[in-house]
């Protein structure tokens, strides 16, 4: 066991990254439990496009395995990959059902998109795009994807339904009882609502694997409802039995064949405008989904550098691109980095981010301020040449002066940014620790000197982490 641990430590540089084999195993199990729902949800969504549900289940598992291994070997990052929620919904509901394209053509578009992403990743174009996107937009993408997924989930659960007048409306239990569909449709809506509340409570209580436990709880509750007659399956209404079918014996648990979907590409219209529309739709949805997720999980794991960039991102983007290409070949939608990777106990953040987290989640975090820290101030300046060309010189200089006015400093303080004006800082001493000793990077000889002393191989940071790992 020691030899195995030693090999894994050397191969994945665990000690250098402040972790251990035991920690990685526990984190891997936790990550799997939080993302396991995709094994059930992805086949359901993709089957709406006409694909074989059993084959998609097998493809989902294989794509997740291949994608995660690619991330481990290409980038050495603890990010799991799987067919992405939102992307699969876009595949099935938008491209196939709304736009009217076949799923074979959609798979071909995903495959071509993956090839393009491989080329972009190898040529550093995708990395440049990642670094060029503002941090606010990166975070907004993650929020937008989350809202889209929530909408799809509510529609599938029929908590919200189509309405010709208002586009969508809440499900009517009264109408369901009146037309005699409560025991078929109404009870499933009620179960979905109970499952959402139960999962939300587990998330608030910080129960690991909360989504998986929520799925299991709702399923068991549905079984009880069917056994007691509260839920009556009706295949004609696409309301099927929730009881496991064990009539096939052990063979029923064998992975379904990939043959119905393996390599089922339709390239007949590859040079048509229709194909380009679908391919570019996947291209742009995937790029923003991946970038938003990568920045989200890496920010939570404190993997971003001082400029908000992810080191060695080229390998991570290449892993994502290869996983997408292979996933399309075996028959599933875009394989991407999963947001459920962000699991941890300690978050190191900028002061304004820490204060914002306390404001948004007052009972979730405890703020710990070091006695000594580094003063980091964003650089602001008027770009004379650009301002002159656009005729904005006066406005730019006025804005620059305004940033240091009392009014602007008050606004900065209210939004978690430490004021440079000492008088205004005193007025907000309840938010900002005024006793912390703020140094400058110049006190350490600049970034180059600081890197050699603290962060280079076998420097102070490596020695500290070696001591920590040795005392675990």
Three-state DSSP string of the chain = CHHHHHHHHHHHCCCCCCCCHHHHHHHHHHHHHHHCCHHHHHHHHHHCCCCCHHHHHHHHHHHHHHHHHHHHHHCCCCCCEEECCCHHHHHHHHHHHHCCCCHHHHHHHHHHHHHHHHHHHHCCHHHHHHHHCCHHHHHHHHHHHHHHHHHHHHHHCCCEEEECCCEEEECCHHHHHHCCCHHHHHHHHHHHHHHHHHHHHHHHCCCCCHHHHHHHHHHHHHHHHHHCCCCCCEHHHCECCCCCCCCCHHHHHCCCCCCCCCCCCCCCCCCCHHHHHHHHHHHHHHHHHHHHHHHHHHHHCCCCCCCCCCCCHHHHHHHHHHHHHHHHHHCCCCEEECHHHCCCCCCCCCHHHHHHHHHHCCCCCCCCCCCEEECCCCCCCCCHHHHHHHCCHHHHHHHHHHCCCHHHHHHHHHCCCCCCCHHHHHHCCCCCCCCCEEECHHHHCCHHHHHHHHHCCCCHHHHHHHHHHHCC
Q: Supply the pLDDT for residue 7.
A: 72
| Residue 344 pLDDT | 46
Determine the pLDDT at residue 121.
79
- pLDDT tens for each residue of the chain, 472 residues long: 344 446 777 777 776 666 777 777 767 776 776 677 788 788 888 888 888 888 898 888 898 888 888 888 887 877 888 887 767 877 888 888 888 888 888 899 889 988 988 888 788 776 677 777 776 776 676 677 677 778 877 887 889 888 888 888 898 888 888 888 888 888 999 999 999 999 899 988 888 667 778 888 998 999 999 999 998 888 877 787 888 776 666 666 678 888 888 888 888 888 888 888 888 878 877 777 777 677 666 666 666 665 656 676 777 788 888 888 888 898 888 777 665 454 445 556 677 777 766 776 665 666 777 778 777 776 677 778 877 887 888 888 888 888 888 888 888 888 888 888 888 888 888 888 888 888 887 887 877 787 778 777 777 877 776 665 554 4
pLDDT of residue 362: 62
Looking at residue 196, its pLDDT comes to: 92
Q: How far is CA 14 from CA 5, 6, 7, 115, 459, in A?
A: 10, 10, 10, 32, 16
Which pLDDT belongs to residue 472? 46
């Amino acid at each position: 066991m020691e030899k195995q641990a030693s090999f894994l430590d050397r191969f994945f540089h665990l000690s250098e990254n402040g972790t251990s084999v035991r920690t990685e195993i526990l984190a891997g199990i936790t990550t799997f439990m939080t993302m396991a729902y995709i094994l059930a949800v992805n086949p359901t969504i993709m089957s709406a496009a006409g694909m074989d549900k059993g084959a998609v289940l097998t493809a989902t598992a294989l794509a997740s395995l291949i994608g995660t291994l690619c991330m481990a070997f290409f980038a050495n990052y603890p990010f799991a990959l799987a067919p992405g929620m939102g992307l699969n919904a876009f595949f099935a509901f938008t491209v196939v059902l709304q736009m009217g394209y076949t799923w074979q053509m959609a798979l071909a578009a995903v495959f071509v998109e993956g090839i393009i992403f491989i080329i972009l990743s190898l040529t550093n174009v995708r990395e440049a795009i990642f670094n060029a996107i503002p941090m606010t937009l990166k975070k907004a993408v993650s929020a937008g994807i989350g809202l889209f997924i929530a909408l799809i989930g509510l529609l599938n659960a029929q908590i919200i339904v189509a309405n010709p007048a208002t586009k969508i409306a809440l499900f009517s239990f009264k109408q369901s009882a009146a037309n005699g569909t409560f025991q078929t449709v109404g009870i499933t809506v009620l179960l979905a609502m109970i499952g959402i509340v139960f999962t939300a409570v587990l998330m608030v209580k910080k129960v690991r694997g909360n989504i998986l436990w929520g799925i299991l709880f709702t399923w068991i509750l549905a079984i009880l409802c069917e056994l007691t007659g509260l839920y009556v399956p009706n295949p004609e209404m696409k309301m099927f039995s929730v009881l496991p079918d064990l009539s096939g014996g052990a063979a029923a648990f064998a992975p379904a064949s990939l043959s119905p979907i393996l390599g089922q590409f339709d390239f007949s219209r590859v040079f048509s405008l229709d194909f380009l529309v679908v391919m570019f739709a996947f291209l742009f949805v995937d790029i923003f989904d991946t970038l938003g997720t990568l920045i989200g999980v890496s920010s939570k794991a404190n993997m971003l550098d001082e400029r908000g960039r992810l080191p060695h991102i080229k390998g991570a983007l290449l892993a994502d691109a290869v996983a997408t290409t292979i996933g399309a070949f075996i028959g599933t939608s875009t394989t991407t980095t999963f947001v459920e990777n962000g699991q941890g106990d300690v978050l190191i953040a900028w002061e304004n981010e820490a204060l914002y987290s306390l404001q948004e989640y007052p009972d979730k975090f405890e703020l710990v301020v070091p006695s000594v820290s580094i003063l980091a101030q964003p650089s602001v300046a008027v770009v004379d040449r650009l301002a002159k060309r656009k005729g904005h010189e006066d406005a730019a200089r006025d804005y620059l002066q305004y940033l240091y006015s009392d009014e602007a400093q008050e606004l900065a303080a209210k939004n978690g940014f430490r004021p440079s004006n000492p008088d205004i800082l005193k007025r907000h001493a309840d938010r900002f620790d005024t006793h912390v000793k703020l140094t400058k990077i110049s006190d350490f000889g600049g970034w180059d000197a600081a890197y050699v002393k603290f962060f280079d191989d076998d420097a102070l940071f490596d020695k500290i982490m070696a001591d920590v790992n040795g005392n675990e």
